């Protein structure tokens, strides 16, 4: 059984792969699927800032690319004190695939928050 600590370790393992030369903010995410598989993603910045893709969406895209769409939990790790939750775009993407998913968020100096996707986006768009 995959634990919250396992998800955190998976995100920590890939955070060094983040591509963030403009902000120097690295973020990694690990998402657990209903089938028990873990998929990770990191943020990838671009000089055309609107083309930047967040770690949370990259983790979800990785899972979807492998044929999985049923997510049960997510963990996010960052090196920045400025970031303390997913951005609005990520909130909607997370909400679309699980509108009540538990999310653990870890930052530097022991920062930790727990919330779920409904708390982050109380009136998200649904099909």
Q: Which residues are catalytic?
A: 56
DSSP characters over 60-88 = HHHHHHTT---EEEEEEEES-SS--S--H
Given a contact cutoff of 8 angstroms between Cβ atoms, the answer to whether 81 and 100 are in contact is: no
Given a contact cutoff of 8 angstroms between Cβ atoms, the answer to whether 30 and 59 are in contact is: yes
- Phi then psi for residue 5, to 5 deg, are -65, -40
| Alpha-carbon gap, residue 52 to 104, rounded angstroms | 23
């Amino acid at each position: 059984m995959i634990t919250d600590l396992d998800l955190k370790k998976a995100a920590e393992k890939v955070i060094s792969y983040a591509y963030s030369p403009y902000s120097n903010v690295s973020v990694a995410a690990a998402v657990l699927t209903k089938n028990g598989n873990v998929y990770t993603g990191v943020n990838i910045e671009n000089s055309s800032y609107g083309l930047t893709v967040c770690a949370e969406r990259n983790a979800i895209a990785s899972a979807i690319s492998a044929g999985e769409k049923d997510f049960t939990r997510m963990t996010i790790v960052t090196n920045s004190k400025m970031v303390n939750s997913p951005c609005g775009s990520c909130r909607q993407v997370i909400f679309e695939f699980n509108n009540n998913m538990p999310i653990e968020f870890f930052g530097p100096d022991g920062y930790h928050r727990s919330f779920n996707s409904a708390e982050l986006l109380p009136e998200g768009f649904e099909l």
